[in-house]
Chains A and B, each alone.
Chain A
């Protein structure tokens, strides 16, 4: 079909388009799917590259054919009526069979990979149960009894099996660099698995529209060395740290008097079930790296912003709608109250 120069032009075109398409994306972006850090994401990425190059090949061939056709056969002055060709059976068979073969080729790894990512490998596994809420993540480790929120600590290199359920509407669990999505439903559980091959911090985000603050339902997966993970687990099971400063002590009092405690547990291992409204367990809140479901760095300024007006940070959230401090003007938090609460919360490690 091609002679030498044509082939060279074709390959050059392919490379050019490919390069253009690839530079559009930046694998360093925290949620880039082009930078797999675990076997599930890697499988998905491998498949992506296969279909990407096949698609690009087809695009250059067919798009090039289209371009050539419209240029080559443009109407010229004085041209008569062209030959009235109605069809060609051989051609029809050809362009039915060739795509069919290409699809059959891609179908094989598709099915194999589908089974691979659907079934967690046997062997040592860490089990994590995630309950999605509007708009945060409750994380439970059934083996150790740890309960936390919005940050999953996992040991590097270990298969993590995640069971997912929702307390309200649909959500979807997604850590682009580790694994594709799995949807989350109320009234049933779904499951997925991943493994992180490098120590690091990976961004995750809810990927199924779940209401007003869908954009602000993020989380982190933090991979630790086995030793660090052991240490982390032990620290999570410990009782909450006692307030160490006068401000923190005042904050602890406010935490009770402003009824924060009615929804936010500060006892290790207590899940949301049974509380009037589901809210993150804050026992070791100050030890997390992010807050408000992975959307801001954990620091005094951000905490202050959140406590001053949670609805501004995350529109529609339950705390802003239901907590006495925000609904009852008599219980509103003063600036000092907020400082004290910040001190208390940051001390919860």
Chain B
């Protein structure tokens, strides 16, 4: 009865493209996230390469200053919101239910909704390239450069609406993963038996749901100022432009940990597997993740050391920032100790994870240098900071993400990524990355400010800029090598089998790729590294030979595909676009979204068994 209540006829067993469009399967959604995010990662990389070519030599005219401003703004937004965050989300989707022994996430349709909203938000954000200009004020969008008088046109609207839509998507996804992790664990998987990747996902999700509302409020205030002539950031009416900075960085610093904690989770899975040792100091690693998450709220003003908040505020934020170095350092020591005494296999995932640690040490140390408020007044807004953020975001997050891709690709597809090409990929990335970003330290110390579209040759910045551009081009080649490997291995890669790496966690106990229902029988967990324990027992027993095909499928009832998440997110995105051009369009979009949400509420998560099978 309820099944026909929806506005649209429910798809039962769609195939091909429709199968993807209506899917609520976390593995398929994870793949959608991954492919989309990697596409945007390449877009962001292309933006970076254009900038690097412009800056390769002094006084070049490859792009105009206006386009350059749009490039560095969009490069940051693309990499953060459309690259690294959704790549992490791809891992959350693919791996979390498998690792905790669940058949899907808590709200499969909400999960599909998150993905589609991410895709549409990404389109809104990028649409400025085609519709008269992208945002050009830097991703931090400091008022009052963002006001109508200094940023006419729709660039800032694409920023506001795009980030707003992406924010809803991220919060919806985070809510889903919080409930999934807290509520859907297999029997016996207590919190302190959860793999560290699950812990980091959980902490990241909490940061997402608490940080995004803050930036949403900032975006709303900016939108109201621009559209309705309100006074939030209007100095002439007594408004304080620094309020934007507080709102932005109160969101922005937790955002930094949103970007790095999942990476730390990935590394914490890869290192034990390839060292054949459990993670050293599990409790401490988890606890330090929690501390980093909490402290993420107490350091936002270290982005504002030169705002003139006064010596007391600067000192306090310097100290809290230094404090974060302690749990971060503890993690690094524990990772090294994990490998110590192990039996390290140098496959590509391990290389990227070790590369992550090495690069993150450098990025972490330059981070401590930035926490020294008085001397940071010299480094602030120079290329030294550009070097730092790339060492933690590329050398950190993206190295770990590549590690994760090489690690879990066999689980997701059933085939191995080629390891020899993978080694080439790693070394090219490593060389290109360091060549591109290490010289930026020198540029910063030589006094080159960020965000300038060119420079004159009497400043002594030519050589290192040129080197950096060469490094950037090598990185571009490294990404092409990865793509080649990806497509080649997708079709011709070695068959992986269930457990190609001698894994430790539950996802390796099932077939590759996993069946739609993941686990024929929900596993019972008896300790950390559940699958390893099952294979080797406490005394090194022979694998028990679990066959996932043993369980019978009759009793498993999976959620059914649905159009409604797509339609709801489409409606919301139309409504959002209306905020830029016409409120009438917003009303139409809202009505579509509302209809879809009604349909959603009324259709059961899973069709009755009779229709389903």
Contact = CB atoms under 8 A, between A and B. Distances in A.
The 3 closest A-B pairs by CB, nearest first: A31-B447, A180-B377, A187-B235
Interface stretch (B203-211, B313-321, B599-607): B313-321
B129 interface: no
B343 A209 contact: no
A88 B281 contact: yes
5 contacts: A31-B459, A34-B445, A73-B275, A182-B377, A183-B307
A110 interface: yes
B240 interface: yes
A87 B282 contact: yes
Interface range, B side: 35 or more
Given A29-B447, A31-B459, A70 B354 contact: yes
Contacts of B310: 118
Contacts of B336: 62, 65-66, 69
Interface of A: 21, 24-26, 28-34, 41, 43-45, 47-48, 51-52, 55, 58-59, 62-63, 65-66, 69-70, 73-76, 79-88, 91-92, 95-96, 99-100, 103, 106-107, 110-111, 113-119, 168-170, 172, 174, 176, 179-183, 185-188, 190-192, 203, 205-215, 295, 315-316
A63 B452 contact: no
Interface string B104-133: 000000000000000000000000000000
Interface string B367-378: 011001111111
B545 interface: no
B65 A212 contact: yes
A269 B46 CA distance: 50
B378 A176 contact: yes
Nearest to B441: A24
B278 A84 contact: yes
Contact of B362 (A59, A92, A168, A315): A59
Contacts of B275: 73, 82
Contact of B150 (A91, A191, A211): A211
Contacts of B150: 168-169, 211
A185 to B, nearest CB: 6
Contacts of A295: 456
Interface of B: 64-66, 69, 137-138, 142-145, 150, 235-236, 238-242, 275-278, 280-284, 306-308, 310-311, 314-315, 318-319, 322-323, 325-326, 329-330, 332-334, 336-337, 339-346, 354, 357-358, 361-362, 365-366, 368-369, 372-382, 439, 441-442, 445-456, 458-461, 464, 536, 540
A52 B345 CA distance: 34
Contacts of A58: 361, 365
B341 A52 contact: no
B145 A32 contact: no
B236 A187 contact: yes
Contact of B454 (A179, A185, A203, A215): A215
B446 A86 contact: no
Given A25-B442, A30-B458, A212-B66, A107 B378 contact: no
B369 A70 contact: no
Contact of A87 (B280, B319, B369, B378): B280
Nearest to B536: A81
A342 B140 CA distance: 41
